[in-house]
């Protein structure tokens, strides 16, 4: 952004920082935790920094806001911005990180790519979505002895909430 002139319009801000413009008349104290996090992120991004340092940015926002945050982090990384995030939300960070450092009581337990610690685990978790009946799925899995320890579980609440909100968003867009 250093070589281009920034024009701050409501639509431009909405596109760049989410729907924060609707919050322009509210006091920060009146915002929800997720809204505060979005405002703080927008404040961090407005200077278009070369290095973005964020401490627990996904504490407070709802599921979709967390996913939007990680998408935004990935966009920044793709533009060459360095991003350092401290978080307890491992799944989101692992999806966009090229390096993971795990600290425990002040000691570095892991300093590796996100896939390295997972490859050291004796068991793996694979998530798949299917419309097959659970009984049919289990029967198919029983055909392969290598899958004897495989566990099948139904979708969780996070998946259900995302499906419901995505369906609502699609209905509004139609």
Per-residue pLDDT tens over the stretch 48-105: 899 989 888 877 777 877 888 888 888 888 999 998 988 877 777 777 788 888 888 7
- pTM for this prediction: 0.56
pLDDT (0 to 100) of residue 13: 58
* Pairing mode, strands 100-104 and 51-55: unpaired
Report the C-alpha gap between 46 and 6 in whole angstroms.
10
Mean pLDDT of 26-40: 82
Residue with tokens 């892991």: 110
pLDDT (0 to 100) of residue 81: 92
Query: Sign (positive/negative) of CA torsion 153, 157, 158, 161?
Result: positive
Q: Dmax over Cα atoms in the chain, in whole Å?
A: 63
Q: Residue 3 pLDDT > 50, yes or no? A: no
pLDDT (0 to 100) of residue 2: 42
**How does the average pLDDT of the chain come out, rounded?**
76
CATH code for the domain defined by 1-121: 3.40.50.300
Domain ranges of the chain: 1-121, 122-174
Q: Residue 161 pLDDT > 80, yes or no? A: no
Lowest-confidence segment of 8-22, 81-95, 108-122 by average pLDDT: 8-22
Return the closest-CA partner of residue 72 out of 128, 16, 31: 16
Report the C-alpha gap between 125 and 84 in whole angstroms.
27
Query: Which residues in 130-141 are b (16+ Cβ under 10 Å) and which e?
Result: eeeeeeeeeeee
Q: Under DSSP, is residue 67 helix (H, G, I), strand (E, B) or coil? A: helix
């Amino acid at each position: 952004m250093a070589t281009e002139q920034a024009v701050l319009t409501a639509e431009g801000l909405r596109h760049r920082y989410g729907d924060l413009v609707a919050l322009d008349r509210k006091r920060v104290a009146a915002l929800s935790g997720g809204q505060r996090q979005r405002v703080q992120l927008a404040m961090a991004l407005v200077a278009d920094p070369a290095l973005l340092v964020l401490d627990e940015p996904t504490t407070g926002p709802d599921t979709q806001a967390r996913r939007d945050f990680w998408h935004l982090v990935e966009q920044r990384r793709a533009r060459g911005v360095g991003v350092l995030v401290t978080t307890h939300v491992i799944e989101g960070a692992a999806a966009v990180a090229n390096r993971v450092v795990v600290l425990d009581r002040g000691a570095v337990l892991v300093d590796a790519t996100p896939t390295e610690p997972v490859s050291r685990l004796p068991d793996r978790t694979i998530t798949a979505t299917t419309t097959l009946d659970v009984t049919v799925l289990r029967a198919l899995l029983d055909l392969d002895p290598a899958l004897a320890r495989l566990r099948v579980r139904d979708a969780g609440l996070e998946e259900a909430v995302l499906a419901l909100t995505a369906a609502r968003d699609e209905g509004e867009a139609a």
